[in-house]
Structure 1
Amino acid sequence: MRKNLLLFAFVTLLTSCAVTNDSNDFVFPTRTGKQKYLQAYNQTLRLWDAPYTEENIKTSYGLAHVIVSGPKDANPVVLFHGTDASSTMWYPNIKSLSKEFRVYAIDYPLETGKSLAYVSEMHPKDMIRFYNEIFAHYELQNISLVAASRGGWVATMLALEPENRIGKLVLLSPAQTFGGVDKLGKAMSALKLKMFPDKKQLHKFFAQFSYYPEKIDQKYKEQFYLANKFGRSKPDLMKMTRFSKQELQSLKIPVLVLVGDRDVINDVGILTKAAETIPHAETDMIMNAGHFLSIDQAEMVNIKIVDFLNKK
């Protein structure tokens, strides 16, 4: 437990270091770095195998960049990405999801992506307001949230809010939601990539966090590398306090929890915990998948998500 907290504290300290900023941007200290990253982001979007629009929604905390796909009159699905992964991480999943649902993929404003923050930090209450303002803008109700890693923690927090708009919850290896970091040594590759952003560290990171790193498109790998090289994300990991048993038991909506059998963040034991604490939970272990399970086993994960969302 103490090691997990130390890791979160160190990562938070590292990614929040003061730097000379000539770009008027809390995430990208330099205009050149931001420009290179955005070029890579756009390259990854070429993998988005479904028609889409990019929209910038004004909120109290900045401009929220949203990628929208799917039929306009379909039920809403909102995607929350993991730390530094940005909305483009969903490129292997978007075609399947957008066939039946109206999909909104939102970049978190204090992480690398296309959203732009007006503030230097966001507390949990700010995160809640930020997303609720986006939901209100699109007039979304009965939302299905599909969230990965850190995004899973944020999605769970939103679902625990009184009078929320969430109808279903899909958690893909949610960070700090049911437990701390499982394999601390291997997870440290993320910290090393942040500290020493080069292609060697990038290779080590994906080797630890993905079971099939060769499946990850080179365009996305380049974007993720530039996110660590030029970005100073502020995910505020120390603010991700563990949910209590009582809180999880209060979730009355259907929840699906998926974890890869080779994940470095969560072991499969969280599936038992989720099933025992959440009243309407479905859980499943994805074989031959790491933390990037939505890429490692995209076809299987897509089927499980769509089947779950279609259940009455």
Structure 2
Amino acid sequence: MSLTSKSPIEKISARPPSDDLTDEQFMSQALVLGHRVRHRCAPNPWVGALVVRRGEIVGQGATQAPGGRHAEIVALDEAADKACDSTVYVTLEPCVHEGRTGPCTEALINAGVNKVVVAILDPDPKMQGRGIAALRASGITVVTGVGKEEADFSLAPYVHHRLTGRSWCVLKVASSLDGRSVAANGESKWITGEASRADSHELRRESQAIVVGSGTALLDAPTLTVRTPGYVGEQPLRVLLDSRGRVRATGPLFTTTLAPTLVFTTKSAPSKVVDDWLAAGAQVETIESGPKGKGVNLETVLGSLGKRGIVQTMFEG
């Protein structure tokens, strides 16, 4: 899918409103709410929720930043007493475990909700159907699978991270019609237009890490920050793959006041270069080499990023 093609969530947003909404249409609205906040939630899932009573939306919410309220709690708080005998639409199975916030299942039960419609189950080992079971055990009607296709698309990075422990990858490639990404003399030139560059920054905003190799770092001296107009959130972790210590600790990539930097390298990197990276404020992780002794082991990279709570990683070169 190209950056400019419409995703299933964008297609939902473009649908005309209806006076008599179905379960699918209510769920579509919840999916849009969740998808809009995906940049702020990781490593938690970005979830949307609606509270509907007698066909009227009386509460809505989306997941807050880690440590904040879950989507169901935000929606129930807005609905207040109107949540009693309502139907709640939620894009991911409500949580049942104690964490920084209380169980959403308990809040739904205490609110007197009559029915809960869920798009997909939560693959987290703490969940896997336990939330659904708790709701049903309390007498609440639960319907699953409504809006599943769109939820699978929106929450794919989260689901992948929970199932594999590794970060989900997105790849950004800019190339000319003849398949080239640099000029014939090796110089770096902008190939993309203004619209695609804006899309690239949106992908950066949705990712928790941005990766480049040593070749791109040497050629482009990239900053690897989100520069979407008006964006004031946290910057993604900038990741450099440099197995031999080719990149010196200078330039924007090692200006750690802009954003944090992590270097994956191997024992082939000179100790002086590693010391310079550390002195510049970067984190350094020495791992095994890739296949045939080339580069770094990407599976190890993605596993390490996953352990750091990086749900989505963007590879830029």
Relative contact order (alpha carbons < 8 A, sep ≥ 6): 1 or 2 greater? 1
Q: TM-score, normalised by structure 2?
A: 0.35
Q: TM-score, normalised by structure 1?
A: 0.36
Which of 1 and 2 has greater Rg? 2
